Amino acid sequence: MINTAILSWVTFIYFAAFVFYLFRMILGREFWGKLATGVALAGLVAQSVALIIRWKTSYALGMGHAPLSNFYESLIFFAWTIVLLYLLMERRLKNRSIGVFVLPVAFLIMAYASIAPGINNRIEPLIPALQSNWLTSHVLTCFMGYAAFTVAFALGMMFFVKTSAGGDLSKASVFIRLLPSEYQMDELMYSSAALGFIFLTLGIVTGSVWAHYAWGSYWSWDPKETWSLITWLTYAVMLHARLVRGWRGKRMAIMAIVGFGCVLFTYLGVNLLPSLHSYMT
């Protein structure tokens, strides 16, 4: 199908964008940065087009649902939200150095969706449990949250790259000098985590409302629900530690990385446990 063909091209576009961001960081020429932004934006537009085509195709096939209904579609949407959020951030901050840490995540997710065995990329009709208006709002908010946490994670990794190079910037490589200051990274990590926290809260609330209509209870300690709570608590600890206890820098970076681990387990690891949320087919 045309949409999956475009999506596999988008995988390579994101890889190219990552390579150009890397060139910029190594060569220190802004030309590569501008090229990288342009390529990433082109990838995002192509991916949006593919998603719209996929959506329309599902209507043409008489199923009529948003492309958010199976594992393949969730991966694609995850990558889309990550790139969207990153480009918005780049525009606002006028700083391109985060791209070299964020784009590879988007690329890996797209590649996983295309290559990993056992991932079904066909458009399929909705099983009864998914036939709900809450599907779109639940998946949308959850993945916006995941994307924000991914950016916080990328910033956490950047933070360690920067600090490992030592304090003396005059001796450091171009790569290190182009990274934002530790203060800036700390602020951004906090903002991304806080944004993710709001979206995760919305995701859990919309999920609870849906569960109330579908499963008979707003909360049933399903492993996915439980892990989303664990993730929520982890970021709650992170935000409290910063706002009230004054944690900064290294500790925040560790929390951002641990939190992202929880996100990944909520998203992927839970499929190893018996769950009502299992759609890894």
Concatenate the DSSP letters of all residues of 35-60 into one string. HHHHHHHHHHHHHHHHHHHHHHHHHH
AA letter at 10: V
The residues, ordered by sequence, that sit 6+ positions from 264 with a Cβ below 8 Å of its Cβ are none
DSSP 275: -
Q: How far is the CB of 10 from another protein (least distance, A)?
A: 27
x-or-dash pattern for another protein, window 173-202, by CB under 8 A?
Answer: --------------x------xx-xx--xx
For residues 7 and 4, what is the distance between their CA atoms, to the nearest angstrom? 5
Smaller CB distance to another protein: residue 55 or 215? 215
Q: Is 271 in the site for another protein (CB under 8 A)?
A: no
Cα distance between the two ends of the chain: 19
Q: Is 244 in the site for another protein (CB under 8 A)?
A: yes
Q: How far is the CB of 194 from another protein (least distance, A)?
A: 5
Q: How far is the CB of 185 from another protein (least distance, A)?
A: 13
Q: Is 240 in the site for another protein (CB under 8 A)?
A: yes
Q: How far is the CB of 265 from another protein (least distance, A)?
A: 9
In this structure, are residues 219 and 225 in contact, taking their beta carbons and an 8 Å threshold?
yes
Residue ranges in 11-40 that form contacts with another protein under rule CB under 8 A: none
Residue ranges in 65-94 that form contacts with another protein under rule CB under 8 A: none
In this structure, are residues 153 and 193 in contact, taking their beta carbons and an 8 Å threshold?
no
Q: Which stretch binds another protein (CB under 8 A): 5-13, 38-46, 93-101, 124-132?
A: 124-132
Q: How far is the CB of 180 from another protein (least distance, A)?
A: 13
For residues 16 and 21, what is the distance between their CA atoms, to the nearest angstrom? 9
227, with CB counted inside 10 A (0-12, 13-18, 19+), is: buried
Three-class SS string for 139-174?
A: HHHHHHHHHHHHHHHHHHHHHHHHHHCCCCHHHCCH
Smaller CB distance to another protein: residue 15 or 232? 232
The 10 Å Cβ neighbour count of residue 144 is 23
38, 64, 125, 166: residue in contact with another protein (rule CB under 8 A): 125
Q: Is 236 in the site for another protein (CB under 8 A)?
A: yes
Residues that bind another protein (CB under 8 A): 124-125, 127-129, 131-132, 187, 194-195, 197-198, 201-202, 205, 208-209, 212-219, 221, 223, 226-227, 229-230, 233-234, 236-237, 240-241, 243-245, 270, 273-274
